[in-house]
């Protein structure tokens, strides 16, 4: 299990940061994270390590405001050594 907690100063106020991740194995990770503030989101998603260099991370944003809008996204990542 991996946990994260902290704070960030935005403008003239602080916002909380919280996160949790569970690695099922070296290929699959489930994760949750949250940043307080009505303009921010709660996020739920997973990471799939396709290869050592390629990852895909689909997730859903759930807005903290009164609309509780849901927005999906997918991030594709390729990692390569610089030296």
15-31: average pLDDT: 98
Cα(68)–Cα(24) distance, integer angstroms: 29
- Residue 42: predicted pLDDT: 96
User: How confident is the model over 48-63, as pLDDT tens digits?
Assistant: 999 999 999 999 999 9
Give 6's pLDDT tier (boundaries 50, 70, 90). very high
pTM: 0.83
| Mean pLDDT of the region 61-81 | 95
Whole-number Å distance between alpha carbons of 26 and 44: 19
């Amino acid at each position: 299990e991996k946990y994260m907690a902290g704070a960030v100063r935005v403008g003239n106020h602080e916002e909380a940061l919280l996160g949790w991740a569970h690695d099922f194995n070296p290929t699959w990770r489930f994760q949750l994270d949250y940043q307080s503030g009505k303009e921010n989101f709660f996020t739920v998603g997973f990471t799939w390590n396709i290869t050592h260099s390629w990852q895909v991370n689909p997730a859903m944003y759930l807005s903290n405001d009164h609309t509780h809008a849901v927005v999906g996204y997918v991030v594709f990542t390729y990692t390569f050594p610089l030296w």
